[in-house]
Amino acid sequence: MARVVQKFGGSSVADAASIKRVAKRVVASRQAGHEVVVVISAMGDTTDELLDLANQVSPQPPQRELDMLLTAGERMSAALLAMAINDLGLQARSFTGSQAGVITTGVHGNARILQITPGRIESAVDEGDIVIVAGFQGVSQDTKDVTTIGRGGSDTTAVALAAALGADFCEIYTDVDGVFTADPRIVPAARRIPRISYEEMLEMAACGAKILHLRCVEYARRENVPVHVRSSFNNLDGTWVTDIDEEDNSMEQAIISGVAHDRSEAKITIVGVPDRIGEASKIFSAVADAEINIDMIVQNASEVSTAKTDISFTLPESDGKRAVAALNAIAEDVGFDNVLYDDQIGKVSVIGVGMRTHPGVTARFFGALAEAGVNIGMISTSEIRISVVVDSAEVDQAVRAAHTAFGLDSDTEAVVYAGTGR
Amino acid sequence: MARVVQKFGGSSVADAASIKRVAKRVVASRQAGHEVVVVISAMGDTTDELLDLANQVSPQPPQRELDMLLTAGERMSAALLAMAINDLGLQARSFTGSQAGVITTGVHGNARILQITPGRIESAVDEGDIVIVAGFQGVSQDTKDVTTIGRGGSDTTAVALAAALGADFCEIYTDVDGVFTADPRIVPAARRIPRISYEEMLEMAACGAKILHLRCVEYARRENVPVHVRSSFNNLDGTWVTDIDEEDNSMEQAIISGVAHDRSEAKITIVGVPDRIGEASKIFSAVADAEINIDMIVQNASEVSTAKTDISFTLPESDGKRAVAALNAIAEDVGFDNVLYDDQIGKVSVIGVGMRTHPGVTARFFGALAEAGVNIGMISTSEIRISVVVDSAEVDQAVRAAHTAFGLDSDTEAVVYAGTGR
């Protein structure tokens, strides 16, 4: 008997029929002898409909009230799932995030889980009940107001609950079969990854793989919760995200686990920055003051004779305009020549713990890109990742070239991708 | 400056436009210098839509989960109203019943308010905010589960909150202009009653006037909270339900305040009950065991020679079948002849504290009925009420005759009745 936390996303509970299907799945786990706690998202379009209602009464609704409104969505799906399970003859009880003891920061719309005090959940599980928890929501430690946990909130709730309950593992049910070596819409020969380490999954999430949110993976790694990402539409094994002992797995470990890509970033280049101490600091302070997160940074001397340099960095495309404005405001003070903005870029990354022990990964990656005729704009690396910025029109070619170069292509085509996951 | 609790029903918040209209009304009260706490029902059809969803996943959903589901409705309207008020430039905060400290019994679907601990509401009011409370809901004292308060739940919440907050009065906004001397759909000459005592309003509610629920009036009387029932569609004065000093108002007090009617009851007659001690007790024990509330009871000897009697009583029509079954089950034991069931009845009541000091009310009432050709089936009285059971087809005539006989007819026609109220 295992204790398991299962999370079902909005696409798995789009309507009454899908709620009944999820109920059958949950009941099967319980009847297999497991203790089951379910975290559930709002039904399909509920959140969008509620946002639409909010916009009808106020163009800029306060975040506190928006949280109060939106959390009704998960509350409804949680109650409905509990009903459907009861209808199958098993006891189920639904709880709000607040009732489940999900304590968060007070940042409405983007709260972080501080701790979980799952007393009521524990009791219900001990009494043999299936527990349904409304995902995406918690209660602020300071104000006791209802909060929402921001993007990936239900996944993170599930992992955090699994940790707090000492669950054996956490299952994330989604609309794809697991984590793939690349996006199957770009690489039809992409393969499902049966097991991946927390570190690699973190890099994948940070580099554009949308299947699990960064925060959720961070939480799983910190609390050492094994996560099983799998499809809610079949019974196939998905991808296990776990703490992999590299020694044990060296035999089967590929050098590269996957190729990720991200088209959501833009690049800013500041031309002709005086090559003096403190100028870069001024530039990045201005960007930080605008509360913009930057990703890659590259500095290279463009005109050695004039002691000037160019600085480029990438950032979320959605923050582009604000960043350019913040930089133009300090142009005179810093004394640079010009700010260039380019949103026609994409980032392609190869990720794998194998590169720690295998030299030549960079050479092989760049060689494959060159052969495919892809020009590299920027480069950044971590211990287990190499990322390049390329022209957005060349992202697909770059992903395919890398996938082939590292021997990831499968003999058969991947199952058709049903959506983007959440 | 007054402290006031305002309650708006589902018909007042049917869509985004009506929520904005309610927001303007609330803001006007705040800007007039009052401290305002609002209790709000779910938007128009929300509750029915949620019930429909519930029935799609389970034919008999557990009450606990139904409460979890349905309370989402008031939560949404509360958050939306807070947004609309914020949009008008004033601070508003929404709270669930649980957050507002509405502590109830654990009877899901029909809980009763045990007490209100309005600490968070008090703080928010003290900080100058307009407070919006989701009506119809609370939290069970024992299990901490979410409960719904049953019929009239939002009205009762409003009155209970007014009492707990020491509010000067409670305004119940509805879709009619107040309490009328009779249903204007039956008596076009019915008049709005400007003031009515708690006792009279209690009798009116118990006798079929649907504008305020019995529990709500009971609560108001016990806690001595003045209630102002008025329309949300205009600014006219409605009806004040208060503690009326009879001495002070004897001059203006009519003998009869209003005529109420109720078509929702049925009559059961048990024919040929042996006239022995304990037989009536057996009969009403059987009905009570089936958890059926009975209203009027009449016993009269039908056949003196045989020492047998008939017993008639009225009960909610919806409980009729169960009551007949319960009685047939004890027919042999008690030894009565027969059970007759009649759902084609109606109850007509005249109500007024004036009848305490004015003899002849009964004579005038019965005289009017006789003149109108209405046959009286059963009679019951209280200190301030006389009720008769008549054929359902004669209810309208009986109401009109009584209304005229006690001088209640107005010279002008009543404003058209928009609905049934809640």
Per-residue model confidence as pLDDT tens digits over B111-139: 999 999 999 999 999 999 999 999 999 99
Interface A:B, Cβ pairs < 8 A: 116
**Residue A393 DSSP label:** G
Question: Could you tell me which residue, A254 or A239, shows the higher pLDDT?
Answer: A239
Please name every residue paired with B316 in a beta bridge, in sequence order, or none if there are none.
B265
**What is the predicted pLDDT for the residue at A414?**
52
Indicate which of A15, A24, A57, A77 best probes the interface with B, i.e. most B CBs within 10 Å of its own CB.
A57
The chain-wide mean pLDDT, for chain B, equals 91
Determine contact: B286 vs chain A, CB below 8 A.
no
**DSSP assignment of A226-264, as one string?**
-EEEEESSS----EEEE---HHHHTTT--S--EEEEE-S
Q: Which residues of A touch B84 (CB under 8 A)?
A: 57-58
Does pLDDT of A303 surpass 70? no
Percentage helix, strand, coil, to 5, in chain A?
40, 25, 35
CA A313, chain centre distance (Å): 22
- The amino acid sitting at A228 is H
Q: Which residues pair with B36 in a beta bridge?
A: B4
Phi, psi (rounded to 5 degrees) for A155: -60, -45
DSSP state of A180: B
Within 8 A by CB and 6+ apart from A94, the residues are A75, A78, A79, A81, A82, A131, A132, A133, A134, B65, B68
Flag whether B394 is in a domain. Answer: no
- In whole angstroms, what is the distance from residue A127 CA to residue A11 CA? 30
Round the CA-based radius of gyration of chain A to a whole number and report it. 23
Task: List, in order, residues 6 or more apart from A126 with CB less than 8 Å away.
Answer: none
Instruction: Flag whether A348 is in a domain.
Output: no
Q: What is the residue range of B125's domain? A: 3-175
The dihedral built from the CA positions of residue B96, B99, B101 and B107, taken in this order, carries a sign that is: positive
Closest CA to A230 of A151, A170, A152, A166: A170
Mean pLDDT over B261-274 rounds to: 93
Q: Which of A272, A305, A267, A274 is nearest to A388 (CA)?
A: A267
Q: What's the domain count of chain B?
A: 1
With 70 as the cut, is the pLDDT of residue A306 above it?
no
Average pLDDT score over residue span B40-50: 92
Q: Quickly list DSSP for B170-221.
A: EEEEESSSS-BSS-TTT-TT--B-SEEEHHHHHHHHHTT--SS-HHHHHHHH
Q: Which residue of chain A comes nearest to B87, CA vs CA?
A: A58
- The model's pTM is 0.85
| CA distances in angstroms from A358 to A107, A258, A361, A368, A380, listed in the order given | 43, 15, 7, 17, 18
Q: Is the dihedral of CA A402, A404, A408, A412 positive or negative?
A: positive
Tell me, what DSSP letter sits at residue A168? S
List, for residues B3-16, the tens digit of each pLDDT value. Answer: 999 999 988 899 99
Cβ(B158)–Cβ(B5) under 8 Å?
yes
What's the whole-number mean pLDDT along residues A191-211?
A: 92
B18, part of any domain: yes
| Domain presence at residue B7 | yes
Q: Which pLDDT does position A417 carry in this prediction?
A: 43
Q: How confident is the model at residue B249 (pLDDT cuts 50, 70, 90)?
A: low
Report the pLDDT value the prediction gives residue B299, as an integer from 0 to 100. 79
Sorting pLDDT into bands at 50, 70 and 90, what band is A356?
confident
Task: Indicate the pLDDT class of residue A240, thresholds 50, 70 and 90.
Answer: very high
Residue (of B85, B4, B80, B69) closest to B43 by Cα position: B80
DSSP state of A192: B
| Confidence at residue A314, expressed as pLDDT on a 0 to 100 scale | 94
pLDDT band at B175 (very low <50, low <70, confident <90, very high): confident
CB of A80 within 8 Å of any CB in chain B?
yes
The nearest CA of chain A is from the CA of B77 a distance in Å of: 8
Residue A412: its pLDDT value, please? 67
What is the pLDDT, as a whole number, of residue B395? 97
The answer as to whether A211 is a domain residue is no
Residue A61 placed within a domain:
yes
Give mean pLDDT, residues A290-303: 79
For residue A418, the model assigns a pLDDT of: 42
DSSP-based three-state secondary structure for A106? coil
Q: Predicted confidence band at B291 (pLDDT cuts at 50, 70, 90)?
A: confident
Residue B201 has pLDDT above 50, yes or no: yes
In a domain, B393, yes or no: no
3 state DSSP class of B397 = helix
Q: Does residue A53 surpass a pLDDT of 70?
A: yes
Angle between helices B153-164 and B214-223 (to 10 degrees): 10
Tens-place pLDDT, residues A373-409:
999 989 988 889 999 999 999 999 999 999 999 999 9
Q: Which two tokens stand for residue A286?
A: 């201005």
Label residue B193 by pLDDT band (50, 70, 90): very high
Residues from chain A that touch B64, judged by Cβ atoms under 8 A, are 93
CATH number at residue B80: 3.40.1160.10
- Residues with Cβ within 8 Å of A199's Cβ and at least 6 positions away in sequence, in order, are A221, A353, A384
Interface probe for B, chosen from A26, A27, A38, A80 (most Cβ of B below 10 Å), is A80
Q: What is the pLDDT of residue B64?
A: 97
B62: contact with A, CB 8 A cutoff? yes
Nearest alpha carbon to residue B13 among B138, B154, B195, B110 = B154
Instruction: State the pLDDT at residue A298.
Output: 84
| Chain B residues touching A120 at Cβ < 8 A | 144
Residue B138 falls inside a structural domain? yes
The residues, any chain, with a CB within 8 Å of residue A96's CB and separated by 6 or more, are A71, A75, A78, A133, A134, A137, B146
* Preferred mutation among B19, B68, B90 to probe A, highest tally of A CBs within 10 A: B68
Q: How far apart are CA B407 and CA B255, in angstroms?
A: 9
Spatial contact of B116 and B103, defined as CB atoms under 8 Å apart: yes
Residue B317, pLDDT score: 93
**B3 annotated ligand-binding residue:** no
Point out the residue among A64, A82, A99 whose CB comes nearest to the CB of B65: A82
Residue A253 has pLDDT above 90, yes or no: no
ipTM score over 0.90, yes or no = no
| pLDDT tens column, B91-115 | 999 999 999 999 999 999 999 999 9
Chain centroid, CA A84 distance in Å: 30
Q: Identify whether the C-beta of residue B19 lies closer than 8 Å to the C-beta of residue B141.
A: no
B76 touches chain A (CB under 8 A): yes
Nearest to A65 among B58, B66, B83 (CB): B83
Q: β-pairing, A345-351 with A385-391?
A: antiparallel
